[in-house]
């Protein structure tokens, strides 16, 4: 194993070389292209700041960079009016970058010291922990009422589907792409949970409240024994041809699966009827804040339940094994 390079020594990687090495590492780990771009942009912004202070990234050894430079960069970003979320992304990317370099003996120090020093930096406002948006439970209750008021078989089926989508979102905190990808065999009905493939190809458990399981079951009962695999389907006249083709070919119904964009449209339309603005991502905020504020969840449990790759992402909401995570989710459902 190579010794840690001495700051400024000929063996030190330049800042640009270190960044390219780190981005290759993220690619090999299978991180999502959008995540890699975010990290590259964040670290690149830091390097541009260093260049303005006479540390040209192409020539400056990365070992010459000080953690105090990061503090100065975040102060600069604050004074320049960068949003807290942007500054949080900067800090997350830089922490991960220098952690990687330390573990690979390309930067002096220890990961513990890095975390201790960077952990003292704050990028959020002093408003405290955000509160759950109580308009969202009202939106779900509105969907319950809409089902009772719906007239006609198709209207009732669409209403039951929309209601099941809202219950799934408010119980699980899944990303809209994850909700779209749900299939009937994914769900463990007895335990009220599902093993899904989330962002970056990472598997995780998601949890359904008893109300969500009941809402999904009602929707499936109203669909009848159609033999289709996707959990949430189109039921409009525009997809009549696809429905006929799937039935004729005894297909699994993939051409009828609701896409993420279509689920977003469903949620926005339901929210407009209630006079509020909401998207599927709004429900992820709700789940995170309710878990932290009301269920007393550990932040690392919330990280796993929501499928955040980085703890720093979950920390936006703050200012273990499957059994533990299920217990955390159940505490929230049994309030």
Active site residue 300: no
Q: Is residue 144 within 8 Å of 166, Cβ to Cβ?
A: no
Residue whose structure tokens are 């033999």? 227
Q: How far apart are CA 122 and CA 315, in angstroms?
A: 11
Which of 31, 55, 167, 175 is the catalytic position?
175
- Please identify which of the residues 87, 234, 284, 332 carries the catalytic annotation: 284
Instruction: Report the 10 Å Cβ neighbour count for 4.
Output: 18
Burial class (CB in 10 A: 0-12, 13-18, 19+), 238: exposed
Tokens linked to 231:
């959990």
- Look up 127 and say whether it is catalytic: no
**Which is the catalytic residue, given 199, 239, 300, 331?**
199
Supply 108's token pair. 């002096």
Q: Report angle CA 39, 69, 38 to the nearest 5 degrees.
A: 10
Chain position carrying tokens 């505490």: 331
284 annotated active-site:
yes
In sequence order, the β-bridge partners of residue 203 are 197
Give me the catalytic one of 90, 285, 317, 332.
Answer: 317
Active-site hit among 223, 281, 300, 331? 281
- Residue closest to 22 by CA, chosen among 96, 111, 105: 96
199 part of the active site: yes
Within the chain, strands assigned E span 187-188, 193-197, 203-207
Which structure tokens are listed for 297?
Answer: 């969840």
Catalytically annotated residue among 87, 235, 308, 332: 308
- Catalytic residue list contains 175: yes
Q: Where do the DSSP E strands lie in 80-218?
A: 187-188, 193-197, 203-207
Whether 308 is a known active-site residue: answer yes
* Rounded Cα–Cα distance for residues 159 and 142 (Å): 11
Estimate the share of the chain in helix, then strand, then coil, as percent rounded to the nearest 5.
60, 5, 30
Active site residues: 175, 199, 281, 284, 308, 317
């Amino acid at each position: 194993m190579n010794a840690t390079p001495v700051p400024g020594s000929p063996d030190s990687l330049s800042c640009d070389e270190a960044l390219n090495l780190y981005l290759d590492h993220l690619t090999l780990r299978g991180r999502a292209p959008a995540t890699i771009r975010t990290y590259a942009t964040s670290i690149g912004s830091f390097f541009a700041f260093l260049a303005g202070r006479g540390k040209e990234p192409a020539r400056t050894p990365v070992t010459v960079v000080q953690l105090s430079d990061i503090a100065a960069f975040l102060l600069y970003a604050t004074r320049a009016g960068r949003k807290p979320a942007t500054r949080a992304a900067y800090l997350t990317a830089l922490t991960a970058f220098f952690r990687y370099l330390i573990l690979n003996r390309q930067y002096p120090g220890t990961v513990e010291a890095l975390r201790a020093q960077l952990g003292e930096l704050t990028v959020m406002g002093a408003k405290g922990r955000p509160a759950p948006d109580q308009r969202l439970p009202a939106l779900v209750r509105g969907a319950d009422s809409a089902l009772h008021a719906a007239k006609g078989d198709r209207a009732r089926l669409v209403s039951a589907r929309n209601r099941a989508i809202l219950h799934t979102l408010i119980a699980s905190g899944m990303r809209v792409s994850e909700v779209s990808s749900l299939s009937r065999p994914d769900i463990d009905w007895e335990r009220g949970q599902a093993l899904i493939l989330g962002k970056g190809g990472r598997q995780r458990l998601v949890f359904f409240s008893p109300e969500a399981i009941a809402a999904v079951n009602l929707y499936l009962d109203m669909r009848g024994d159609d033999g289709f695999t996707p959990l949430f389907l189109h039921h409009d006249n525009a997809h009549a041809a696809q429905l006929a083709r799937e039935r004729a070919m005894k297909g699994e119904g993939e051409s009828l699966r609701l896409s993420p964009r279509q689920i977003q449209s469903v949620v926005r339309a339901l929210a407009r009827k209630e006079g509020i603005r909401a998207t599927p991502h709004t429900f992820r905020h709700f789940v995170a804040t309710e878990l932290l504020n009301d269920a007393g969840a550990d932040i690392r449990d919330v990280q796993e339940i929501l499928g955040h790759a980085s703890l720093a992402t979950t920390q936006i909401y703050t200012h273990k094994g499957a059994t533990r995570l299920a217990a955390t989710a159940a505490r929230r459902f049994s309030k």
